[in-house]
Amino acid sequence: MGAVIFFKTEDVQRTTDFYTSILGFSSWLTQPNIEILKYDNLLLGIQLAESISPAPLLGLFVNSKEEVDRFYSRLNDLAENAPAINSVYDIYGFFAKDIDGRRIEVFTYLIETPDI
């Protein structure tokens, strides 16, 4: 399992520039309105939003749709939706909340991704 922490921003390029030029992150994957950056084994998603949110989203990515479905069965009571394909980002997954109400997303990429 891998993980991406997503930060919402009103300016993806400005925030990406900060993390790459000041903190030394590099680009890992570019998707519509999202730039996923990498530093060692940390993945940070910079996501376009109408407003900045100080609360991050923890994205847990697994290797297959079957694994997503297994996580869904464990998190069913906390899930916001059933697993589905998101064709914008080429993923299959769902959103849930942890026991403290923090949002998490469990998904698998439907495209080839670079190694971490």
d(CA 11, CA 20) in angstroms, rounded, equals 14
d(CA 29, CA 36): 5
Please tell me the predicted confidence (pLDDT) of residue 116: 81
Exposure string for 82-116, b = 16+ CB within 10 A, e = fewer = ebeeeeebbbbbbbbeeeeeebbbbbbbeeeeeee
Is 25 inside any structural domain?
A: yes
Q: Look at residue 103 and give its three-state secondary structure.
A: strand
Q: Is residue 99 part of a domain?
A: yes
Asked whether residue 44 is domain-assigned, the answer is yes
Beta pairing class for 2-9 and 42-48: parallel
Q: Is residue 42 part of a domain?
A: yes
* Extended strands (E) in the chain: 2-9, 26-31, 34-39, 42-48, 53-61, 84-86, 91-97, 103-109
pLDDT of 97 > 80? The answer is yes
Give 3-44 pLDDT, tens digit per residue.
Answer: 999 999 999 999 999 999 999 999 999 999 999 999 999 999
Sole residue written with tokens 């993390």:
19
- Of the two residues 52 and 38, the one the predictor is more confident about is 38
Q: Is pLDDT above 80 for 75?
A: yes
Does residue 116 belong to any structural domain of this protein?
no
* Structural domain of 11: 2-109
CATH code for the domain in which residue 102 is found? 3.10.180.10
Q: Which residue has the higher pLDDT, 1 or 8?
A: 8
The number of folded domains in the chain is 1
**pTM metric for this prediction:** 0.81
Asked, for residue 85, whether it belongs to a domain, the answer is yes
For residues 65 and 85, the answer to whether their CB atoms sit within 8 Å is no
In a domain, 114, yes or no: no
* Domain presence at residue 115: no
